Chain A
Amino acid sequence: MVTSLRRVLVSDGTDCKAPNEDKKLYRMLRREITKASLAEDVELVHVQCLGLCEYEPVVVVYPEGTVYTHVQTADAHEIVENHLVQGNVVERLSNNAPDLNVRFLRRIEETPFLQGQTRIALRNCGIVDPEDIEDYIANDGYQALARALVSMTPADVIAEVKKSGLRGRGGAGFPTGLKWELAAKEPGPQKYIICNADEGDPGAFMDRSVLESDPHSVLEAMTIGGYAMGANQGYIYVRAEYPVAVQRLQHAIAQSREYGLLGDDIFGTGFHFDIDIRLGAGAFVCGEETALLNSIEGKRGTPRPKPPYPAVSGLWGKPTVINNVETYANIPAIMLRGADWFAQIGAEKAKGTKVFALTGRINNVGLVEVPIGTTLRKVIYDIGGGIPKGKKFKAVQTGGPSGGSIPAECLDSPIEYETLTALGSMMGSGGMIVMDETTCMVDVARFYLDFTKDESCGQCSPCRIGTVRILEILEKITTGNGTMEDLENLKYLGEQVKVASLCGLGQSAPNPVLSTMRYFWDEYVAHVVEKRCPSGVCKPLIHYTIDAEACTGCGLCARNCASNAISGELKQPHVIDDDICIRCGTCAEVCNYDAVACR
């Protein structure tokens, strides 16, 4: 059965800027539609603010896609009668915003989200069938490997990768070619190459997407790397929480073996190489390379002291190269199109592109691949489409729990390894969580420390104890018990944990705290001195009150209050008992007169 409904969207900003309108336009349209006996044929949808704030109230009629702007309740009858009944567009309302450019896009590549991107690591994502090796081959797959094995020496391959300027995409940004060279120089018949697919940052999913959409590019790149450094065995360390990625990788490895692209004598060159999968149990610390090595060896996933670096003594004490999924995804493109082509993209100190998983309070959620050096503003506003519901941008967290929050005044900074580090954050693996004005930065720091405290492996005391102590102080602040001395201690403790911890987890765990203290000091002070949460997030610090002037005494809030904290005579101003109030905010949401204030 094929359904053919008309769909009418109403966006009147009731969720953001005009909460008192109370669905008037929507209700009027519904009444008119029912009156015209169209209720069965028209689906009327009341939608959250579409982002066309200056044109609201907006009504969109499908299938034509007619956009009516500045629609008044009095226009409802005309739209229903002329358009829905007779099929004539109400020109008066569709043409009253000449600067509004409305169109349908045919190809997904035309969307503003994809238009601003440069895709190298994600070049095949969405294009090839990840479960069909021949589809990958048809898209130039395994040609980079053929070129490397047949017409280049291992030293040539390393030189090409070095020349490209590719740096590790897992966080620290170590030059990939150099890493390969260090391992290649080590003596010994047995070496290993590892793909780090233990993507653990909350909100990051770029590695998963590459593994699920283009697994062969990772296999091809690892084989090239194995040839360059002299390894015959590769391991992909991927978390068991990524079942689709694991299944596609297994399938891809089996296909590659079947086609002779893994195994003995690849392309008749005598080079043999194979890849196996190792499943991680989901510990965040196992994304740290030495903890990952221990985990593959079957030991507890705790980091090792460095040096010796894995390139010298890695898996089972053998020279080992560990690269991130996205780093590998770049390799076939570099080998095919040349280091010079790659080196002209990006910034001076870092070449190529970086993939970010854009999430949080952002209109267009998804994967963004842009040249390194692109500004944060371009990623968040041009590609990400800005902040929903007309809210103001507050900060963006890059690098997940290891990174920091970057405030609005730094939005024009280019995204580069060094710039982000100077801003107190880091590139990290590429999570990018956007926060708007309703986010409390102290609470954000608390959230991340709660995460790192859980994920600390417990091996070294600065991280094991330090993260717990930092969290305790943050909890003290968010519950209104903090002092100025706590802020001093927090800063001191954060810096100590940073320098004294054994591995990257502890060394970067204080970053969310230190960066929010750096850019949002006022918010910390407000929590401590005024016992106030400016964003209204920390429940012990907020109070709901009813404005006696604005309150009409309708009783709606009292009826909706779950804790019976609101009392008052009908048609008389109501009051909230602060001792009983659980700060759920329902009263403010239901009030039709904007009489409930949160402070």
Chain B
Amino acid sequence: MTVEELYRIKQRVLERKQEESQSIARIVVCLDTGGIAAGAEEVLRTAEEEATRCTQPRAKVVRTGSFGVSSLDPLVMVQMPNDEPVAYVKMTPDKMRHVIQRHVIEGQIVQEYTVHVANNIMLNDYTVME
């Protein structure tokens, strides 16, 4: 590999991403040990299964590591074509199905699963009482 080849790879990947960002919905699942412990693998599997139903736009599921916001795991980002990503927190396979139906297929952000704050305190980061 030469330095020129390195730049060419970078250009190629950036161009591909640019192109995809105009036509494809990107579903990013954060997958590190913390996320996996919180159930991110099941969420990823559901996303991959459900993504096959998406045709307009098509959906692509990718994985990343972790932002380190452990209390909000599993974390999923959905980026619609020509749009900014939306972060969905504390995801479950059920919520994932819901997000793909409502957000990717119907184009509506599922606000309920995004971070909800009141005076900088996260509300949907709750613990259920026994």
Q: Is the interface of B mostly helix, strand, loop or mixed?
A: mixed
Report the Cα distance A62→B17, complex, angstroms: 34
In the complex, which of the residues A15, A99, A110, A366 has the most CB atoms of chain B within 10 Å of its own CB atom? A366
Q: Which residues of A contact B14 (CB under 8 A)?
A: 138
CA distance A244 to B41 in the complex (A): 12
Q: In the complex where A130-B64, A130-B65 touch, is A108 in contact with B70 (Cβ < 8 A)?
A: no
A385 touching B122 in the complex, CB below 8 Å, given contacts A107-B84, A366-B70: yes
Instruction: Looking at the assembled complex, report how far the CB atom of A430 sits from the nearest CB atom of chain B, in whole angstroms.
Output: 12
CA–CA, A150 and B3, complex, Å:
8
Query: Please, how many angstroms separate the alpha-carbon atoms of A364 and B122 in the complex?
Result: 9
Q: How long is the Cα–Cα vector from A105 to B122 in the complex, in angstroms?
A: 10
Contact between A367 and B128, CB atoms less than 8 A apart? no
Closest-CB distance, A538 to chain B (whole angstroms): 26
Find the A residue at minimum CB distance from B98: A2
A267 touches B34 (CB 8 A): no
Check B87–A45 contact: CB distance below 8 A: no
Once the chains are docked, how many angstroms separate the CA of A208 from the CA of B17? 28
Select the stretch in A121-129, A291-299, A569-577 that faces chain B: A121-129
Among B117, B119, B123, B125, the one with the most A-chain Cβ atoms within 10 Å of its Cβ is B123
Residues of A within 8 A of B116 (CB): 60, 65, 102-105
Q: How far is the CB of B125 from chain A (nearest CB, A)?
A: 8
Q: In the complex, what distance in Å separates the CA atom of A99 from the CA atom of B118? A: 10
Interface stretch of the complex, out of A47-55, A189-197, A502-510: A47-55
Q: How large is the interface on A (under 10, 10 to 19, 20 to 34, 35 or more residues)?
A: 35 or more
Given the interface pairs A52-B118, A102-B118, A111-B117, the reply to whether A67 lies near B123 with Cβ below 8 Å is yes
Pick the contact of A125: B62, B67, B94, B122 (CB < 8 A): B67
Interface residues of B (CB under 8 A from A): 1-3, 6, 9-10, 12-14, 17, 30, 32-34, 36, 62-72, 75, 77, 84-87, 89, 94, 97-98, 101-102, 109-112, 114-129
Chain A residues engaging chain B, CB cutoff 8 angstroms: 1-4, 7, 9, 11, 14-15, 45-48, 50-52, 55, 60, 62-63, 65, 67, 99-108, 110-114, 122, 124-131, 134-135, 137-138, 140, 142-143, 146, 150, 205-206, 208-209, 212-214, 242, 244-245, 259-261, 266-268, 363-369, 385
Given contacts A107-B85, A209-B68, 10 further A-B contacts (CB under 8 A): A103-B116, A104-B111, A105-B115, A107-B87, A110-B115, A114-B67, A128-B64, A129-B64, A135-B13, A150-B3
